[in-house]
Amino acid sequence: MGAHHPERPQRISAIEDQLIAAGLESALTRFAAPLATDEQLARAHPLEYVQAIRRAAPRAGTVHLDPDTAMNPHTLNAALRAAGAAVMGVDLVLSGKFSSSFAAVRPPGHHACRARPMGFCIFNNVAVAARHALHQHGLERVAIIDFDVHHGNGTEDIFEGDEHVVMASIFQHPFYPYSGTDNPASNMFNVPLAAGAGSKELKNAVNEVWLPALEGFKPELVIFSAGFDAHTEDDMAMLRFTDADYAWVTAEVKDIAERHSRGRMVSMLEGGYALSALGRSAVQHIKVLAA
């Protein structure tokens, strides 16, 4: 994204470092993500949009898609692999080979709307995952859980009114992208949190809004938009989650997944910009997924 941009390559190494430090390496099986195909992307975005992104990719230098979102000569490949990881995660989990997957990918995806890149995001990775599960594997009900500090406006744009998908989210509000509170669709369970909110407010939101919604929906697969920028050490926003909150929220959702989804969970990295907190929190999340 350019020098001094918070969405930087070191985010992935920070997660890798903490996985090693936690001794989790031996519990994980690693895969290199394939490139998503136009057919897979076009389940979440119009094909014209996918083609426009391919055309926008520069041979040299940087092009800006919006003030926050840039492409260099490697970005298209990374974005195609991030979406490809979504497809692969779904395939690995729905084949029964693994009960859960975590994709340590950049760029993130949840601000990418049907036909608009936004907020560091180019393709909506969780949307590609959900539509792959529905169309390729024939599932009827997929839940998307988004605990990134920013509202997943792109995911809402793609799925509002879609009877096969429920989205449960928390986010700081009022805050970028300033959406999620005005007339959300009936399949959206959005809980805006005020600046300064922390563990207590997260627990209330999950217990009072998310869990009843998920219990009623009985998802066959749970997909996480796993952003870690609501951490108290993350200066991107002003929520105060701790490392342990990420273990807690993952465990609560896992309980739903075990009862309704045969434990099947696919997780995609979204935000998280304080490198140490990102690595530690992602490990808390992955530990519960892998347990």
Pair 193, 172: CB distance under 8 Å? yes
Active site residue 111: yes
Q: How many CA atoms lie within 13 A of 127 on its CB side?
A: 28
Q: DSSP alpha helices (H): ranges in 160-242?
A: 199-205, 211-217
Instruction: Please say which residue, 43 or 106, places its beta carbon nearer to Zn ion.
Output: 106
Binding pattern for the stretch 119-138 against Zn ion, x by CB under 5 A and - elsewhere:
--------------------
Segment contacting Zn ion by CB under 5 A, of 40-48, 144-152, 198-206, 251-259: 144-152
Which residue of 7, 91, 146, 148 would you call a contact of Zn ion, by CB under 5 A? 148
DSSP-derived 3-state class of residue 49: helix
For residues 122-134, b (16+ Cβ closer than 10 Å) or e, as one string?
A: bbbbbbbbbbbbb
Segment contacting Zn ion by CB under 5 A, of 4-12, 64-72, 222-230, 244-252: 222-230
Instruction: Please say which residue, 129 or 256, places its beta carbon nearer to Zn ion.
Output: 129
Strands 63-66 and 69-71: antiparallel
Which residue of 271, 284, 286, 288 would you call a contact of Zn ion, by CB under 5 A? 271
Number of residues that bind Zn ion (CB under 5 A): 5
Neighbours of 271 (CB within 10 A): 27
Instruction: Please say which residue, 146 or 243, places its beta carbon nearer to Zn ion.
Output: 146
Segment contacting Zn ion by CB under 5 A, of 12-20, 177-185, 192-200, 271-279: 271-279
Q: Select the residue whose beta carbon is closest to Zn ion and give its number.
A: 271
Q: Which of 45, 111, 231, 285 is catalytic?
A: 111
Min CB(41)–Zn ion separation in Å:
22
Instruction: Please say which residue, 40 or 190, places its beta carbon nearer to Zn ion.
Output: 190
> Which residue spans within 14-164 are E strands per DSSP?
63-66, 69-71, 100-103, 142-146
End-to-end CA distance of the chain: 35
Task: Tell me which residues are annotated as active site.
Answer: 111
